[in-house]
Amino acid sequence: LTRCVVRAPRWFHRGVTGLEAEALLKSRGIHGSFLARPSKKNVGDFSLSVRVQDDVTHIRIQNTGDYYDLYGGEKFATLSELVDYYTNDSGTLQDRDGQIIEIKYPLNSSDPTTERWYHGHLSGPNAEKMLGKREEPGTYLVRGSLSKPGDFVLSVLTSEKTKKGDRRVTHIKILCQRYTVGDTTFYDSLTDLVEHYKKVGIEEISGHWVHLKQPFYTTRVNAADIDTRVRLLDQMAKNPEENPGEKSKAGFWEEFDALQKLEAKVKKSREEGQRPENKSKNRYKNILPFNDTRVVLETADPTVVGSDYINANYVRDTLRPDNDKVFIATQGCLLTTVNDFWQMVWQEKTRVIVMTTREVEKGRNKCVPYWPAVDAYKEVGAYVVTCLSETDASDYKVRVLEMAPLNEKTRIWHYQYLSWPDHGVPQEPGGVLSFLAQVNAKQEMFPDAGPMVIHCSAGIGRTGTFMVIDMILHSIDIQGVDCDIDIQKCIQMVREQRSGMVQTEAQYKFIYLAVSEHIQRESLDLPPPPRTMLKRKHTEATAHGAHTRNTPLTFDLFGTASSFKTCPIISLSPSPGHCRRVTSVALVGVLGW
Question: Is 456 among the catalytic positions?
Answer: yes
Cα separation, 373 vs 571, in Å, equals 11
Instruction: Give the angle 392-338-374 at the CA atoms, nearest 5°.
Output: 30
Biggest CA pair distance of the chain: 86
- DSSP letter string, 329-383: EEPPPPTTTHHHHHHHHHHTT--EEEE-S-SEETTEE-----SPPBT-EEEETTE
- Beta 565-566 vs 557-558: how paired, if at all? unpaired
Of 73, 89, 33, 76, the closest CA to residue 56 belongs to 33
> What is the distance between the alpha carbons of residues 463 and 311, in angstroms, rounded to a whole number?
14
Task: Determine the Cα–Cα distance for residues 416 and 456; give it in Å rounded to an integer.
Answer: 10
* Number of other CB atoms surrounding residue 440 within 10 Å: 17
Q: Please give the DSSP secondary-structure letter assigned to residue 433.
A: H
Which member of 4, 333, 456, 579 is catalytic? Answer: 456
Distances (CA, A) of 190 to 14, 187, 465, 492: 15, 7, 35, 30
Helix or strand holding residue 251 (H, E): helix 251-263
315-338 exposure pattern, b = at least 16 Cβ within 10 A, e = fewer: bbbebbeebebebbbbbbbbeebb
Q: What positions carry a catalytic annotation?
A: 456
